[in-house]
Amino acid sequence: YSLRDRIAATGFVRVLEEVRAMGFAGVELAGLHDLSAAAFRDTLARLDLQLAAAHVPLPDRDDFTALLDAQAAIGAHRIVVA
């Protein structure tokens, strides 16, 4: 959320690269910004960034398993529901 304007201006992957260049070791996620789960995981691995948590909307009861599966696909071990 705090980098949304920068992401809009330069792109999600570029901002992740900048964050890593600043010395950060991890990020919290609020959306994949048009990346597939595999591309997101690969980008974090390439940059040696850890995923600290993922922010997700409260799912419908029927969508809860799908949400957990999607978060597992990107390597999210902590999920913040808002």
What is the mean predicted confidence (pLDDT) over 55-63?
87
**CB 49 within 8 Å of CB 64:** no
Q: Is the pLDDT of residue 32 over 90?
A: no
Average per-residue pLDDT for the chain: 92
Beta bridge partners of 1: none
In three-state secondary structure terms, 33 is coil
| Reported pTM | 0.83
Q: Residue 50: pLDDT above 90?
A: yes
| Integer Cα distance of 61 and 47 in angstroms | 35
For 11-24, the pLDDT digits (tens) are 999 999 999 999 99
Q: Rounded mean pLDDT of 17-38?
A: 93
